[in-house]
Amino acid sequence: MLKEKVLNAINEQINAEQYSSLLYLSMSAWFSDKGLPGFANWMYVQYQEEMTHANKFFNYVNERGGKVTLKAIGQMPTEWGSIIEVVEATLAHEQYVTDLINNLVDIALQEKDHATQSFLKWFVDEQVEEEANVKEILDTLKLVNGQGNGIFMLDRELRGRTFVDATVPA
């Protein structure tokens, strides 16, 4: 059984993951509108990943005998000034999610909830990967000043990303 403090924090995280998924879906729509199908695809895969993260937390709460409490999800942005601005916002958001995950780990440690600590390790590792992936795209965008043939080439590369549910053991 989950302790109340851990349960409340995980329920907040479920909502944060759902918000993240819709934020990335909004970004995907923005890229699609700008004629950048590769960037749109990359963000759509991000949307799918964040939904699987929310579901992983959802299932964990249920497995541990807790009650999932969903809340309304706030309005996410729908407009950005440039491609670089979108990717910078993505990196900032992933860093924010990393802080949320780290806070969850801290709560699990304080509550001596070893099962939740173990469960959260996957998310700690996932956030390292998420931030590195976005940083790589941002660095490339900055190299080409967010324009020209470099955008075309990066967009073509990002078309190849496919969704793989990393929450399911291989």
For residue 43, what pLDDT is reported?
Answer: 98
Q: What is the helix, strand, coil percentage profile of the chain, to 5? A: 75, 0, 25
Dihedral of CA atoms 133, 135, 137, 141 in degrees, nearest 10, equals 180
CATH code for 4-158? 1.20.1260.10
pLDDT digits (tens, 9 = 90+) for 42-65: 999 999 999 999 999 999 999 999
Nearest to 104 by CA among 124, 74, 130: 124
Residues of the chain with pLDDT under 70: 170
For residue 170, what pLDDT is reported?
Answer: 60
Placement of tokens 């799918």 in the chain:
48
For residue 60, what pLDDT is reported?
Answer: 98
- How many C-beta atoms lie closer than 10 Å to residue 27's C-beta? 26
- Element at 143 (helix H, strand E): helix 114-143
Domain ranges of the chain: 4-158
d(CA 11, CA 69): 6
For residue 37, what pLDDT is reported?
Answer: 97
CA dist 80 to 34, 63, 118, 129, Å? Answer: 11, 40, 38, 24
d(CA 83, CA 35): 11
For residue 150, what pLDDT is reported?
Answer: 87
